[in-house]
Structure 1
């Protein structure tokens, strides 16, 4: 089981002080969060991709390459790579380069994004979002697996005799998660390729998450990649902790009320009851997170959102201490013990290289 954190990289005023960090401060804070994640024993750091204020992570591979040079063990990922508005050729080359720089500590999550203006900025039409995601990923999948690609599709110029460089490290492309909040077509896409499916799991009730994950698992088995319970599933989650649960609620409330993603909507208590948001003690976070398995089954990756809505870096680093010291060790022990032997661990570069060698060695 892998545990980590993901960030959306928002630059938001702190509602308790009125201070807004600069873009430079926010970018440096994200780097500090990644390094702290490794220090406290987490497995993954993931960044989103945005091209509009108030967000700063417009170039995820630049940030992850910088973090790769300052970490040794951490898996570097994206929590969204915009498969709809990025050129698949550029994605193929950027992430292969990052693979080499990070010695394989790289995977990525494909997503369509939820910012409508981004599409025309990159010459695309949001009404073609699903079709773009399907076609662009098909090309990306080929670029990583075929030395020479001839291609003609609907949304980009044709390719003739094209080779993406550098080639994937050890001949094994980065593992891909397909992230979706609400689109069954994306769960179907993940299942078709035998890739991972990541459900954001922040804004929706558990019944919705269950339906999406169950669809992916059924289709994963349908396409012959293994049993349904062997499909590779990841979940998001959002927490805020203090040792005393009432202190956590009191401290987090102004951040929740002013958050750009859900401020002005349901109350903190209502939102916590309706979604996986957990504000309380480490023990409450442990109990709530262990409950995810009840409706999605055994899964491979759990990422937490800790750093949005204007929370100061000092507070986020304190959250990471609690997560690494008190929460994740218990979750790791309990969830690993409950997972049947036939359910795989989360893929890593090393495990996928070994699997490829085993497959090649078994051929006559």
Structure 2
């Protein structure tokens, strides 16, 4: 079993390279994302996750299409999302799309629910952003039901009722894909993850870690409150961000123009301020190891670490070099995170583990 999964996530931005001024085409960016996923498996990473966006300058509007292509080209990689928009997508379509992907990928699928952070998307899909939290709660309640009940009768506020409805295909082996609930600010989402006993992912790349520690602590406390186990048995994931070179000074010099011009944080705090306050680390492999290990001190033992590596106009060649370097430090990260990890802390979720737990619960319903 893998105690902890390491992987990468992409937001799929199309951003000009500030050192050359060249902007990739949408086709180039999509092909780059798939190349990055294949490289992730090659260097020994466990997870590739894509965002979902429906507005320029982003390209990943159809995550399951991309992940289905990657599934056909990989053997071990878990295919996930760094956001599946539970607010603006129809839960019925999510249920169908990800169950289909689950079958095609032989179970190497999970997904992360999110509300999205782009206001105009809501009316494009006939929704009201002011209902963001209620939409997230109601839509996920329906999705959860669709994957677990063969015939569903359902009525809610935000979509037409369902009568005698069966979502097809049914989940592989009768076990739904594992779900993470991602949030950067909403205690309601931490509460939702805890209620269902699902995973909680703190996408902590832009804010100080103390903010996310409060959300994770809340999730752990409520996970125990709902009877799913002790707080340290809750399933936690965290975001991260790095740019590394063998020599720290080289990393700082090379990444600075990308940082300074990045759409998401350029023209704001300095790179040095940002690396002090957030998970971003720009430096040597040893510095990346040390910063990543420090999350454990803040959040406790957790199950999934995803890094953002392909944004801000970084060329594909550079991103692939970053993944080679990550592959080199991966054995150290695995070994260090395993040290002193209590036996009570669950391993990272996989389809095989979920099937085994389901089967064990069926034979011993008292422990279920």
TM > 0.5 between the two?
A: yes
Q: Which runs of 4+ in 1 moved over 3 A?
A: none
What residue is the counterpart of 1:347 in the other structure? 349
Kindly indicate whether residue 77 of structure 2 is the aligned counterpart of residue 77 of structure 1.
Answer: no
- Match among 128, 135, 158 for residue 155 of structure 1: 158
1:50-93 CA distances to partner (integer Å, 9 max, x unpaired)? 00000000000000000000000000000000000000000000
Shift of the alpha carbon at 1:328?
Answer: 1.6
- Give the stretch that moved more between structures: 335-344 or 73-82: 335-344
The whole-number CA distance in structure 1 between the counterparts of 2:194 and 2:94 is: 21
The whole-number CA distance in structure 2 between the counterparts of 1:206 and 1:80 is: 20
SS in 1 for 2:222: helix
Structure 1 gaps, min length 5: none
- Match among 214, 218, 243 for residue 215 of structure 1: 218
Shift of the alpha carbon at 1:363?
Answer: 3.9
Kindly indicate whether residue 146 of structure 2 is the aligned counterpart of residue 143 of structure 1.
Answer: yes
1:81-134 CA distances to partner (integer Å, 9 max, x unpaired)? 000000000000000000000000000000000000000000001000000000
- Match among 164, 177, 183 for residue 174 of structure 1: 177
What residue is the counterpart of 2:269 in the other structure? 266
What residue is the counterpart of 1:359 in the other structure? 361
Kindly indicate whether residue 218 of structure 2 is the aligned counterpart of residue 235 of structure 1.
Answer: no
SS in 2 for 1:238: strand
What residue is the counterpart of 1:332 in the other structure? 334
What residue is the counterpart of 1:287 in the other structure? 290
Shift of the alpha carbon at 1:206?
Answer: 1.4
What residue is the counterpart of 1:26 in the other structure? 29
What residue is the counterpart of 2:135 in the other structure? 132
- Match among 303, 306, 315 for residue 303 of structure 1: 306
The whole-number CA distance in structure 1 between the counterparts of 2:365 and 2:83 is: 36
What residue is the counterpart of 1:316 in the other structure? 319
The CA RMSD over aligned residues, in Å, is: 0.7
Shift of the alpha carbon at 1:339?
Answer: 1.2
SS in 2 for 1:29: helix
The whole-number CA distance in structure 2 between the counterparts of 1:263 and 1:125 is: 30
Q: How many residues align?
A: 363
After TM superposition, the score normalised by the length of structure 1 is 0.99
Kindly indicate whether residue 37 of structure 2 is the aligned counterpart of residue 12 of structure 1.
Answer: no
1:116-154 CA distances to partner (integer Å, 9 max, x unpaired)? 000000000100000000000000000000000011100
The whole-number CA distance in structure 1 between the counterparts of 2:122 and 2:233 is: 35
The whole-number CA distance in structure 2 between the counterparts of 1:73 and 1:339 is: 24
Kindly indicate whether residue 40 of structure 2 is the aligned counterpart of residue 40 of structure 1.
Answer: no
1:226-264 CA distances to partner (integer Å, 9 max, x unpaired)? 000110000000100001101101100000011111111
The whole-number CA distance in structure 2 between the counterparts of 1:72 and 1:184 is: 36
